[in-house]
A and B are shown apart, each in its own frame.
Chain A
Amino acid sequence: DIQMTQSPSSLSASVGDRVTITCRASQSISSYLNWYQQKPGTAPKLLIYAASSLQSGVPSRFSGSGSGTDFTLTINNLQPEDFATYYCQQSYSAPPTFGGGTKVEIK
């Protein structure tokens, strides 16, 4: 199975900050990388698919980049509603696997 490693596991940031979360795959996954946002008590929400494609309805302050083994999720101008846990997930091969999550907290 492909292992996905996210860093950091948590971070503190302020409204208006730029936040960067990284995700590393244990082998090359081309651009088969997706990002999800999960708020407490709710289901995950797809933000980015295929490494850099913005899911419909997701604000443009979210962006994704990378290919191969290293990927980044960037949130520009962090908003109060963005405080949540973020997961990366590879869709290159079965079983699809998730990173351990990054919790974005209010500073």
Chain B
Amino acid sequence: QVQLVESGGGVVQPGGSLRLSCAASGFTFSSYGVHWVRQAPGKGLEWVAFIRFDGTYKNYADSVKGRFTISRDNSKNTLYLQMNSLRAEDTSLYYCAKDRVAVAGALYQFDFWGQVSLVTVSS
């Protein structure tokens, strides 16, 4: 069965950095585009970033562009989100999610989600 297991969340001071990981299993990770989506406590969902199946294309929400970097290691079946220059407004639950179908671009249909990582930015 498909599993996405996240790690790396925690508490960090404003301006600090954190790296989230998402270990995938149960599907051919190297064939699928994957995303990060976040949700501020008690709020709605916000897409954060996408990376193509082979890592050659990435795109980001304007709110994180230039501060966050999405990457993947297909040999380890793992997705990453490097978060730098963190702000209080980045405090959220962060989910990794896979595209529903293995396509060359981004489908933006999230059929499986990780179990979430909580990132708290506070002094």
Give A contacts to B, CB under 8 Å.
32, 34, 36, 43-46, 49-50, 55, 87, 89, 91, 94-101
Contact = CB atoms under 8 A, between A and B. Distances in A.
A50 B78 CA distance: 28
A89 B95 contact: no
Contacts of A45: 113
Contacts of B110: 34, 36, 44, 46, 89
Contact of A43 (B46, B62, B113): B113
B62 A95 contact: yes
A94 B60 CA distance: 9
Contacts, number: 54
Interface string B39-73: 00000111100100000000101100000000000
Given A46-B109, A91-B108, A97 B47 contact: yes
Main secondary structure of the interface of A (DSSP, over half): loop
A34 B45 CA distance: 13
Contact of B108 (A36, A44, A96, A100): A96
Given A44-B45, A44-B110, A46-B109, 10 more contacts: A32-B108, A43-B115, A44-B95, A46-B100, A87-B44, A89-B45, A89-B108, A94-B106, A95-B62, A98-B45
